Structure 1
């Protein structure tokens, strides 16, 4: 039976009364209104005074030179270590590299930031700043501190220096302490200096001036500016840059930066485009630059030799009055010229081979090697080997920007580079060997012709030798100049592999704050918080809130619901017999005959409660009064010997009472007092005895009840609270009916478990619940078969309460 009772109770607790829930919310509408208004106001302030953040975007198309993946690359792709779009990912890493960011930052005038001071917040200015700061980058400046600038009446400016700042040298991109610079402290911090437009302010820790002042805008306003070091700027913009694919499967890159100064961010993105394309072009031009450097060094040597030989030839012709050689001499000279030209070309190629071999021995990067074709080398195998090795170095360097050396792809490329270098060295050894043989052959053939020339006359022989040297140097010079021009044209024709699709553009609407979203969130929170408060308060509230709460924790019937009043008297029925509260007691009286099963009406009635303050005495007084008003001879007995008080409400004395009779000090008739109501008598508790329990439990008390039954129609016992004193349980076993008083919004539901357990087990019979001080809440309805009354309570409370006093006092 107990388990069934618990199951029913749990089902009732788990059920949700939607209508009741809505009424709870409606009853708390002022809290909802205040929370919603407050939330909307906060959202308005956030939208009004938050710094607006804009989104700036641009798009770059990444060129792809991928040749496909074979062999090991296919295996690495299959196991997830290698991305086929590796070149695309490498470009993303380059865009996010600190080196490129530093180049961009240094190309822009971002060292000085400007701020306008408003009433509630400061906002950053950019090109619209009413002044600019020109500073000496070769001089130390104070960074990371705010300089405050204001205008004087005479057109000058007052500059207040920052409280804390750090000396920094922009030319070296280093702090003064890092450069071991000795900076003396002359008390410049927090100082205020007056300066005119264009006048330099210079000391050991700063050197700048105010220029480009817009006096109309500057007047009556204060502004701030600060110097920022390159490292901070690089970190700031590098972390702000977001790089993502523009579309799935595309090699286009979307660049995004969010910032409070959109035009400044736009300039940064545009500069990033330029430096990024320049960075890629510099890598492509590096081979051409090295080629031009190599050729220029060779040309310098040949220019000197050619000038000397030309001067010697002119002087020889002039001194010997010789213009042309003999026909035989010219024939030999032409053959010798052809051999020496071929020898010079072979010698140049041989120098390139030796240069290349030495380059390999030094284990230098082959990405920037001088191209063979630029030096007239046409060996297809050598050209292919150098091209393969250069491509591998390009891939390796791209990976090295953001990937560790122990990465499987890096290790694979390093192995390929080592193999290609080994093959190239072996090939160069063979080529150099063949070149040496060719040079030796040329030298032998040239020597043979030189022996033939030795038979010529001395003057012609000398002329041939001089002319030979001149033509040889001239042809070599022409050859190198041609190669230099070709390298220059190749460098000039180089274009970046990547290109800008969309320049930086500012999106129209700021991404922060989101006005409509903030208002929507405010509205939701403005409803959620009070709803959570109402539900939480209801969830954790264990007080009796109505008839349903009583029925959920006990099976004892409800006999009556007594209303609430603010009157200061307990004798409501006698003082206001026509009040609605008096009607609720008449309803209680009417229910007596339905509650007693064995007799028409119960004669001895006890009234108790769980604890003090629940209205037990108030209920006893008015129940006895309403019974007396029905012309029934009624006796009200104060059985609570520990706290006697009912006599005060009738203006009677407590000199003698129940304790006097039970202790044998007085006779029964001596302790009965008459009230102003003819049919109502009273036995007060009397003086407080030292042994109240023993007196109550004694035979004299039970004998007294037997005598009183013969004299009165009804006897109402105002007993002690059942939750505090054990006497009441024994008294309830000798009464005809018992009433258990609970107070609305006061009695804890758990207190009813004590009486309910005894009622369910059958140890406590003839008992019913009285709900006292009931206040009808907005939206709640109730009704039951026993009747009820409206009223205004009996506790000393204000006649009218504000909503919050009433709501939070529940």
Structure 2
């Protein structure tokens, strides 16, 4: 019945404990922080100092931004795709892409960045230390270093500006390898070094730099292109507008602005050069044809002059003049048709011989054939777009392959159109020649010489007409080259905040502050995790099902060497804890019986608890006798300084009178039997029947018999003595007992090897946050539930293990959550 009552009390207490929430853990964490605030403060200060040092040593990074507007030919602010080109791509199964993204890709291409690096000499970097901080020099740089020899390695060296207006070059490194080189040079003087021929010029004079050291670094051009290409990003401002935002991040804000400015200038030039490529190609073609037609015209004119000279002809006869008047319209049409036919043949020949995706078709005037003119213009636009994209993409790109298919198809269509156009001109020419032949037939009476002169004159007129047309075309091309401009507009020139964007001092200091708190917290947590000893009563409850009859706090009265309770200890937590233990024993023994004290290992405090429990039982008016059955070490006998015949004398038969071994009045209602002389065979003595006779006699005289034995695991004595015990009190000391042994103890309890085994937790932490469940009022409230509710907080005691209870709090909440699920 008593066991059921205790188990019911345990269940009630467990339900009350499950009501604890996260605020209990927070309260404990705050308590741990307050107890170790000096370590936390030291850690936070150290981390903040290291963070400040880190921030001071980091180079500053600035951000600059500019905005471009990509305009179409209609200048309406919307970026439109070439509809004809898109239609042709769709007919060929090619997906139409966003040209704004193509422009963003070109802006971020290595080709453009290579031109920026070459123009600004970005492969050479100048850095000067200001305190702990490295500062990149650009606009206000006192020197300019020129590397006159070809180079293929990374080079760095230091330049010190001497007061004598000279420079000291030292600490040279080539590919991170130190080179022994030191030399004093003058401004503008070239000198030989392991890195080749170098010249240092004075960019500007500033007394501030005299005596300072500038660290000069030169990297490979490809590495510089990669470095600054990563520093520049381009993105759409918004999908509804054709605006591109350019951002550059660099260690020098002036250099970041200069990079964006140069990049936009080169981008504009690249667009203009792409547009001028058609006109330039046309101009080249026209110049070649002018040279050829001019030569032919000169030959015809010489031939006519020679013919007139040889035949002494000054003017044609009247009938020839009449013929010319009659055939004027015919000749005019014939000349125009022959000129158009020549241009068409030249153009067809050019298309056939220059069948390449990168060659543009000359933009010539083909008379009234506007459709042909439009086809050639669309083809040239497609070639320009293909050239720009192929410069920044590989040939295996799907977009490039689609463009190639489109260009082949367009070129084939243009060739077919040119063939049809030439055929139509040839038919038209035959009709005109037929009319002209009728005029020729009517001139049979004209002298043969005049006919020959007329033929030469006709050839001269054709050549002159074609020559004049080509001259006019060349002027048109020259005008087009002069007026072409890029279809972009700079909306925002480079701008940005004067403060750096990196390092982020606030974030770094905040992280350092958190790290300063986390380091000691993790150390304390690791200390708890590595501690395998029992930390509190909860550790026992999580594993054991045996009843826990009491929690005994640590003894703090160093003046009491025997650690034996006296009247002066009334009201203290230690005294109230033993009263609670006595109260709980009433439900197990019913006011009398034999109590055996044991533990797993020495130093658990079983002898301490056995003697003070005996004192408390005696104070309650119960006749009690304390037996020191630890005949191997005589612990109790040594503490109370009582020796004599003792237990071993009775067990080996030296005396059969119980009164001879009893020490009277050790305390109020408390007698004592010392261990006696240490025998060579302690286990055999304890196995003798004399122990049973002794206990039987003591039961007649005393209410309680408290037997202090050896540790149960070390030797077999405790198991031997347990045959005469009614209750076994197993002492577990906080901070001493290994938690891993609790599972074995649970098996020992379930096996029933020890009579009525109960647990006593020794060294429990007083106060509401420790291993016990007290409320800290300073006096006891024993309810007999098997738990100590009532010894309060000892004001003179500092809780040195407060943080150990954090694990118990977590375990309790975890059990509560498991039960809910």
Aligning the two structures, in what range does the TM-score lie when normalised by the shorter sequence?
0.7 to 0.9
Per-residue Cα deviation, 1:192-243 (whole angstroms, up to 9, x for no partner): 1110112112468233223225351222321111222321122122233322
Per-residue Cα deviation, 1:664-683 (whole angstroms, up to 9, x for no partner): 56767698485995765341
Equivalent in the alignment of 1:21: 25
Equivalent in the alignment of 2:495: 505
Aligned residue for 1:372, secondary structure, equals coil
1:87 to 81, 96, 99: 99
Q: Distance in 1 between matches of 2:170 and 2:17?
A: 69
Change in Cα spacing, 1:300 to 1:69, as seen in structure 2 (3 Å) is closer
1:746 to 736, 743, 757: 736
- How far does residue 596 in structure 1 lie from its aligned partner after superposition? 2.9
- State whether residues 528 and 804 of structure 2, in contact with CA within 8 Å, keep that contact through their aligned partners in structure 1: no
- How far does residue 159 in structure 1 lie from its aligned partner after superposition? 0.7
Equivalent in the alignment of 1:284: 275
- How far does residue 20 in structure 1 lie from its aligned partner after superposition? 2.5
Change in Cα spacing, 1:651 to 1:788, as seen in structure 2 (3 Å) is same
- How far does residue 618 in structure 1 lie from its aligned partner after superposition? 2.2
- State whether residues 357 and 383 of structure 2, in contact with CA within 8 Å, keep that contact through their aligned partners in structure 1: yes
Q: Distance in 1 between matches of 2:109 and 2:750?
A: 80
1:90-239 alignment to 2 at 5 Å?
A: 90-136=102-148, 139-141=149-151, 143-160=153-170, 162-165=172-175, 189-202=179-192, 205-239=196-230
**Residue 67 (1) aligns with residue 77 (2):** no
Aligned residue for 1:140, secondary structure, equals coil
- State whether residues 605 and 735 of structure 1, in contact with CA within 8 Å, keep that contact through their aligned partners in structure 2: yes
**Residue 707 (1) aligns with residue 697 (2):** yes
Q: Distance in 1 between matches of 2:381 and 2:763?
A: 93
- How far does residue 126 in structure 1 lie from its aligned partner after superposition? 1.4
- State whether residues 155 and 174 of structure 2, in contact with CA within 8 Å, keep that contact through their aligned partners in structure 1: yes
Equivalent in the alignment of 2:817: none
2:474 to 465, 469, 484: 484
2:547 to 541, 553, 556: 556
Aligned residue for 1:605, secondary structure, equals strand
**Residue 267 (1) aligns with residue 258 (2):** yes
Equivalent in the alignment of 1:371: 363
Change in Cα spacing, 1:788 to 1:722, as seen in structure 2 (3 Å) is farther
- How far does residue 247 in structure 1 lie from its aligned partner after superposition? 0.7
Q: Distance in 2 between matches of 1:276 and 1:759?
A: 87
**Residue 357 (1) aligns with residue 341 (2):** no
- How far does residue 162 in structure 1 lie from its aligned partner after superposition? 2.6
Equivalent in the alignment of 1:639: 629
Q: Distance in 2 between matches of 1:809 and 1:476?
A: 102
Equivalent in the alignment of 1:662: 651
- State whether residues 149 and 159 of structure 1, in contact with CA within 8 Å, keep that contact through their aligned partners in structure 2: yes
282-291 or 322-331, larger mean C-alpha shift: 322-331
Change in Cα spacing, 1:770 to 1:76, as seen in structure 2 (3 Å) is farther
Change in Cα spacing, 1:68 to 1:640, as seen in structure 2 (3 Å) is farther
- State whether residues 562 and 770 of structure 1, in contact with CA within 8 Å, keep that contact through their aligned partners in structure 2: no
Q: Distance in 2 between matches of 1:755 and 1:300?
A: 114
1:296 to 287, 296, 314: 287
Q: Distance in 1 between matches of 2:759 and 2:640?
A: 26
- How far does residue 747 in structure 1 lie from its aligned partner after superposition? 3.2
Aligned residue for 2:173, secondary structure, equals coil
Q: Distance in 2 between matches of 1:757 and 1:457?
A: 141
43-52 or 265-274, larger mean C-alpha shift: 43-52
Change in Cα spacing, 1:89 to 1:593, as seen in structure 2 (3 Å) is closer
- How far does residue 454 in structure 1 lie from its aligned partner after superposition? 12
Equivalent in the alignment of 1:56: 64
Change in Cα spacing, 1:234 to 1:485, as seen in structure 2 (3 Å) is same
Equivalent in the alignment of 1:382: 372
Aligned residue for 2:174, secondary structure, equals coil
- State whether residues 278 and 360 of structure 2, in contact with CA within 8 Å, keep that contact through their aligned partners in structure 1: yes
- State whether residues 144 and 227 of structure 1, in contact with CA within 8 Å, keep that contact through their aligned partners in structure 2: yes
- How far does residue 487 in structure 1 lie from its aligned partner after superposition? 0.9
Q: Distance in 1 between matches of 2:84 and 2:769?
A: 76
Query: TM-score w.r.t. structure 2 length?
Result: 0.77
Query: TM-score w.r.t. structure 1 length?
Result: 0.78
- State whether residues 720 and 728 of structure 1, in contact with CA within 8 Å, keep that contact through their aligned partners in structure 2: yes
Aligned residue for 1:28, secondary structure, equals helix
Change in Cα spacing, 1:614 to 1:447, as seen in structure 2 (3 Å) is farther
Aligned residue for 2:113, secondary structure, equals helix
Per-residue Cα deviation, 1:576-620 (whole angstroms, up to 9, x for no partner): 752469773476257536623587743533222233222112223
1:346 to 326, 338, 343: 338
17-26 or 529-538, larger mean C-alpha shift: 529-538
Equivalent in the alignment of 1:179: none
Q: Which runs of 5+ in 1 are unaligned?
A: 167-186, 794-798
Q: Which runs of 5+ in 2 are unaligned?
A: 73-79, 776-780, 783-787, 809-821
Aligned residue for 2:724, secondary structure, equals coil
Q: Distance in 2 between matches of 1:447 and 1:264?
A: 80
Change in Cα spacing, 1:539 to 1:487, as seen in structure 2 (3 Å) is same
306-315 or 626-635, larger mean C-alpha shift: 306-315
Q: Distance in 2 between matches of 1:778 and 1:42?
A: 39
- State whether residues 147 and 196 of structure 2, in contact with CA within 8 Å, keep that contact through their aligned partners in structure 1: no
Per-residue Cα deviation, 1:135-159 (whole angstroms, up to 9, x for no partner): 43xx324742211111334332111
- State whether residues 651 and 690 of structure 2, in contact with CA within 8 Å, keep that contact through their aligned partners in structure 1: yes
Q: Distance in 2 between matches of 1:386 and 1:686?
A: 125
1:444-523 alignment to 2 at 5 Å?
A: 476-523=466-513
Q: Distance in 1 between matches of 2:801 and 2:189?
A: 68
Q: Distance in 1 between matches of 2:538 and 2:345?
A: 104
- State whether residues 596 and 766 of structure 1, in contact with CA within 8 Å, keep that contact through their aligned partners in structure 2: no
- State whether residues 695 and 724 of structure 2, in contact with CA within 8 Å, keep that contact through their aligned partners in structure 1: no
42-51 or 435-444, larger mean C-alpha shift: 435-444
Per-residue Cα deviation, 1:256-313 (whole angstroms, up to 9, x for no partner): 2322223222211222212222222211111100111122223345566778999999
Aligned length, in residue pairs? 773
Q: Distance in 2 between matches of 1:37 and 1:554?
A: 48
- State whether residues 600 and 713 of structure 2, in contact with CA within 8 Å, keep that contact through their aligned partners in structure 1: yes
Equivalent in the alignment of 1:427: 417
- How far does residue 571 in structure 1 lie from its aligned partner after superposition? 0.7
Equivalent in the alignment of 1:788: 791
- State whether residues 553 and 766 of structure 2, in contact with CA within 8 Å, keep that contact through their aligned partners in structure 1: no
Root-mean-square deviation (CA, aligned residues, Å) is: 5.2
Change in Cα spacing, 1:361 to 1:598, as seen in structure 2 (3 Å) is closer
Change in Cα spacing, 1:447 to 1:490, as seen in structure 2 (3 Å) is farther
1:774 to 764, 780, 783: 764
552-561 or 696-705, larger mean C-alpha shift: 552-561
- State whether residues 347 and 439 of structure 1, in contact with CA within 8 Å, keep that contact through their aligned partners in structure 2: no
Aligned residue for 1:162, secondary structure, equals strand
223-232 or 674-683, larger mean C-alpha shift: 674-683
Aligned residue for 1:163, secondary structure, equals strand
Change in Cα spacing, 1:219 to 1:423, as seen in structure 2 (3 Å) is closer
